Each structure stands twice: as structure tokens, then as C-alpha cells.
Copies of this chain bind each other. A is one copy, B any other.
Amino acid sequence: MIPAKYVSWGNAGSTIRELAAYGAARAKVIGAENVFDFTIGSPSVAPPESVLEKLRLLAADPDPVALHAYAPAAGIESVRCKVADYLNRSFGSSYDAGDIYMTHGSSSALALVCAALLSPGDEALALAPYFPEYRIYAEQTGAEFTEVLCDLESFRPDMAALEAKLTEKTALVIINSPNNPSGVVLDEDSVKEIAGLLRAKSAEYGHPIYILADEPYRELVYGGLTVPFIPSFYPDTLYCYSFSKSVSLPGERIGYIAMGKDMTDYADVKAAVCGAGRALGYICVSPMFQLAVADTLGDVSDISVYDDNRSLFYDELRKLGFTCIKPDGAFYLFIKAPDGDSRDFCRRAMEKDLLVVPGDDFGCPGFARIAYCVPMQRIVNSLPAFKALAEEYGL
């Protein structure tokens, strides 16, 4: 009587987490300095001092009863106001507090949006490569999960492939930019093309196709690039944000969903998100962390560290003969397995204590993800092992 899907998801674990656990165990045997763990996308840079200072103040709050009390399910009113104002200032949107639903990071935002918009028989379509847990959040609802691979040269969306995958059952398209694992930022032209296609298909099918825009890496972009704000181009967008990466609080689980009033069936969508939050066991998001981020909106960890890592690592891997997507955002390199077999590539890397994640898990075989949110010394120290790997492939 125990649901098989949960047993299987529980036993399967996540490849990323399992590799990271292997790395931790291996470090005990050969020393942490000899394991080049590039598996987990956990920030290596401290939260902004403003956030830390706010946390210290809250921890010393003279009224801990009020501070740690139950917050409203959708979030503290003043926090939701500040988030809406921040979005409006930044992107010219017109959210108000009622349009913001605070979540336990991106993961719960994604799970709630999937629950709120998908039913058995529906399809959720993710632009690949994508974060592996998308599949579980979609399938959890009884819907089908499908994916459409980007163009593997430019890493831009393959519009013909996207159009071919859309069906009458498509209820949700999941887009992640800056992208995990490729580091690619979706450009404005691509957003406009996708919006145009989905608008046409929504009209053709007689029901809205919503976009879930998953943007935990929005601020992690390099070279002065701008990340288009998808809701400006496509009102039927549920914008999901997380503070995990931008202010380095991944364990503390804080983020939000923004839903614009010009969205189709706005009231029902909002109610369904709230209802899903209730049914999936979410009572409220930590008031301590809601208050910590609300007063420091726009502050970001020192991403110059990631930028330096990115330049160094990208250049060195290219010099060694590897092919790599040039990442404009996030903190990942997506490296091509020289012979196309990414699982074998990761296995061979592991023999040299280089821990990287096969792209297969991200819907993109043939590549491997290297998380460079690590101390730069780890990158430097890993280069001889990458050199040996390159030589093994005859690069």
C-alpha cells in the first residue's frame, strides 16, 4: 500500500547529492584537499554583510515571541510589499503584496506551481538542459513530464523542436535562466519568440499555457549582461525566485512566487498556489529569514569571486582541449564529453578524484556539469587531473 513512486524517488536519491556524499566520504580517506568536488551548486561566498547584520539583529530581538510567531501562509505583509516594490522598481512590473507568495526557496515554489497548474493528463514541458527535480515536481501531480532540447551549438532554444513538442495537453512550460547546468542566459529575442509561440498555441488550444520562470540565478551574471524579465513579455508567467544563490542562504529555504494580475485565471491560479501550499504541509516561511532578506533586497554576495573562477576555469579547460559552453551566468561550466559519452566521462573523471555531474540527469547527455562555486585553489589544484583526463582522451 506504500506508494511506489515515493519509495522509488526516496531510494533513487539525486545523482548530485550522491556524488557529493561520495566526495565527502572520499575526502576522509585521501584528504579533502585531494578531492576535487565540483558537484553541488552551494554558494562558496558569504552572504552580504547587510544580511548577516540583519540576522544578528533579529537573533537579538527583544521580542522573540512576536518574531518567531506563525507568519501568514503567503508571507509577512510588509515583506510581500517590499518584494513587490522591488520587482516593480527593477522591472517596471506592477505587482502588489497580494501577488507575492513567499516560499521555502525555489524547490517549494516549483512544487507548488506544478501542483497548482497540473493535473493527471496534462503535460509539463521543460527546456533542456534543466534541473533534474523538475521532473519529480511535475510527475508528482500525475502529469506527464516532457522536455525539449536546446540547440547544442548555440544553447539557444530550438524553436522548431519546441513547437513540435507542444500539444493540447501542455499546461506548463518550465524555463530556467540563467541556466543550471549550462550557465547560458536566455536572450530577449528568444524570450519574445517563445512568448509569441505560446500565445499562438494557447489561442489554438483554447487554454492558457503558463510559463514557470525559475530564476534563482538572476543576479549571477557576468560581463554586464541583462536577464530579460519573462513576465514583461508573457503575462501568463509564474515568476519563481530564490535567495539561495544571490545571498548565499541555500539551506535556509527562502524565495517567492510572483503572479501578475494580468494572468489568465489569476484568482484561481493564486488560490490554487495557496491551496497547494496548505495541502503539501507548508504553514509559513521562517519570519526570521523573511525579515532578513526583505530589508536587504537587491544586495548580492560578492559574485566577482565566481566571475574570477569562471574565467580561469573556462580558459584553462579550453587550453587543455576541452569544449565548453561559455557561461554568462550562474556558477556552472557545461563541458562536452570528448567522445560524447558523458556518464563514462564522469566515471573517468572520478578515477582522478574529479567529481562532476553527467548532463544526462539534466536532460542533456554528452555534457557534464562542473560547479565552480568553490574556493579558487580547488580549481587550480584540479588542473593537473583535468590535464591527465584530456590526455586520456587524446586531446
Contacts and interface: CB of A to CB of B under 8 A. Distances in A.
A278 to B, nearest CB: 5
Given A3-B116, A52-B64, A8 B275 contact: yes
Contact of A271 (B7, B60, B70): B7
A156 to B, nearest CB: 29
Contacts of A268: 2, 7
Given A68-B47, A252-B288, A272-B2, A9 B279 contact: yes
Nearest to A6: B275
A280 B103 CA distance: 12
Most chain B CB within 10 A, of A64, A108, A249, is at: A64
Contacts of A140: 279-280
Given A69-B250, A104-B104, A107-B281, 9 more contacts: A3-B272, A6-B271, A7-B268, A9-B274, A13-B274, A42-B69, A56-B56, A68-B250, A69-B251
Interface string A197-211: 000000000010000
Contacts of A277: 10
A233 B285 CA distance: 35
A1 B277 CA distance: 18
The 10 closest A-B pairs by CB, nearest first: A111-B281, A10-B275, A6-B275, A9-B275, A10-B271, A10-B274, A59-B59, A108-B281, A6-B272, A140-B279
A281 B280 contact: yes
Contacts of A2: 116-117, 265, 268-269, 272
B46 A64 contact: yes
A122 interface: yes
7 contacts: A3-B118, A6-B273, A10-B273, A17-B72, A45-B65, A112-B281, A286-B286
Secondary structure dominating the interface of A:
helix
A43 interface: yes
Contacts of A3: 115-116, 118-119, 141, 272
State the oligomeric state as a number of copies: 2
A32 to B, nearest CB: 13
A64 B248 contact: yes
Most chain B Cβ neighbours within 10 Å, of A2, A43, A108, A248: A2
A72 B17 CA distance: 8
Interface in A1-49: 1-3, 5-14, 17, 40, 42-47
A8 to B, nearest CB: 7
A276 interface: yes
Given A10-B273, A171-B1, A111 B279 contact: yes
B42 A276 contact: no
Interface in A272-301: 272-289
Nearest to A62: B46
Nearest to A136: B279
Contact of A117 (B1, B59, B271): B1
Contacts of A249: 68
* Best-buried of A12, A13, A55, A281 by chain B (most CB within 10 Å): A281
